[in-house]
């Protein structure tokens, strides 16, 4: 009976330490790029957008593959058309809407941060910078 008590006490102490362990799930910190802020970060097509295409898109959207061709060499000229870029309503640009994380279909998606960058790039004039 006594050893049971000890066991119980030890278990309680152990629970005290183990039970209070939290695994924090840090949510993705999505940047905000205000199109009306002249001091907003300038998004670079070559440094910010091309790497997104390379990591997530060129497996299919490569030269001679699925259109648009998003390979580093051809991405800008492929996208530089009203089919993909809607400069008056950037949120409606196909290059932003088709892989949008809000879509529920099976086409690959941008992460929330990548979507902010692609939209920001269009809002800043979709430059070949
Ligand atoms: C697994 C292959 C695959 C990957 C990876 C992929 N796509 Fe696609 N994408 C397709 C296919 C197939 C279509 C055509 C059918 C459709 O619209 O769903 C398409 C269509 C599109 C369209 C519309 C083209 C048009 O002219 O109508 C855009 C824009 C697009 N993808 C952008 C992207 C971007 C940006 C990425 C990377 C985030 C990406 N895709 C990743 C397969 C892929």
pLDDT for position 25? 80
pLDDT for position 17? 66
pLDDT for position 75? 98
pLDDT for position 4? 72
- Cα(6) to ligand 1 centroid in Å equals 64
Atom of ligand 1 nearest to the CA of 57: 37
pLDDT for position 18? 65
pLDDT for position 59? 98
Between the CA of residue 41 and those of 48, 90, 127, what are the distances in Å?
11, 17, 14
Residue 83, both tokens: 């089919």
- Mean pLDDT of successive 10-residue stretches along the chain, which has 129 residues: 71 67 78 91 97 98 98 98 98 98 97 98 98
What is the value of pTM for the model shown? 0.84
Q: Which helix (H) or strand (E) holds 79?
A: helix 75-79
Between the CA of residue 28 and those of 2, 102, 107, 112, what are the distances in Å?
51, 15, 21, 8
pLDDT for position 102? 97
pLDDT for position 50? 98
Ligand 1 site-directed mutation target among 66, 94, 106, 113, most atoms within 8 Å of CB: 66
């Amino acid at each position: 009976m006594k050893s049971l008590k000890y066991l119980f006490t030890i278990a309680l102490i152990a629970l005290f330490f183990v039970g209070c362990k939290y695994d924090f799930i840090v949510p993705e910190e999505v940047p905000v790029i205000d199109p009306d802020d002249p001091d907003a970060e300038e998004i670079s097509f070559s440094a910010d957008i091309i790497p997104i295409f390379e990591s997530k898109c060129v497996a299919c959207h490569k030269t001679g593959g699925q259109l648009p061709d998003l390979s580093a060499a051809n991405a800008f000229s492929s996208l530089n058309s009203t089919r993909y870029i809607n400069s008056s309503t950037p949120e409606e640009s196909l290059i932003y809407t088709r892989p949008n994380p809000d879509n529920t279909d099976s086409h690959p998606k941008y992460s929330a941060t990548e979507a902010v960058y692609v939209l920001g790039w269009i809002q800043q004039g979709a430059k070949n910078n």
